[in-house]
Amino acid sequence: MRADLDRLASTYNVSWRWGGELDSGGFEYSLPDHRQRSRRTHHRIEKQSDTFRHSLDSALDRSRLNNTRREDDINAFVKEFYKETKRLHDNFDHHKSTANDVRTVLDRAAQIDQFMRRNRLRNDREAQRDWAQLRVLLDELAGVYNVRWGW
């Protein structure tokens, strides 16, 4: 039975260790290192995206861009970025995420990056800082999926 379970785990790219502290199934479960790194990266991107979205919204409300077409544009870029990030995470959870999914997320991020470079929110460094931190995580995501990427 153990050999069959080991083969099944190998087929689905799941690693585990027999023995040690046992759960109700009699084994300890852990994800492969690559998958763990991917999961951590996805969660950190989601968290930092939320932080950035809030700081950007506050910065825009205090800027000359408030209630303009440019504010609408960046909000649309951020919404599309969120949608693609969510799609990537969902695909990851279902073992279907691909480098193309990552490229789509990065393409959406590039639109935001262009906006952030062109429209320095002079009175609010928080949004710039939060975006810079999110860019670092997106670079990490590209590395996890072996996607060549440059801003």
Asked if residue 59 lies in contact with residue 126, where contact means CB atoms within 8 angstroms, the answer is yes
- Asked if residue 10 has pLDDT above 70, the reply is no
Which pLDDT belongs to residue 113?
Answer: 96
Helices and strands per DSSP (H, E), number in the chain: 5, 2
| Domain extents in the chain | 1-30, 34-144
Q: Is 105 helix (H, G, I), strand (E, B) or coil?
A: helix
Q: Choose between 13 and 5: higher pLDDT.
A: 5
What tens digit of pLDDT does each residue of 63-120 get?
889 999 999 999 999 999 999 999 999 999 988 999 999 999 999 999 999 999 988 7
- With pLDDT > 90 as the criterion, what percentage of the chain qualifies? 61
Q: How far apart are CA 72 and CA 69, in angstroms?
A: 5
User: Coil, helix or strand for 123?
Assistant: coil
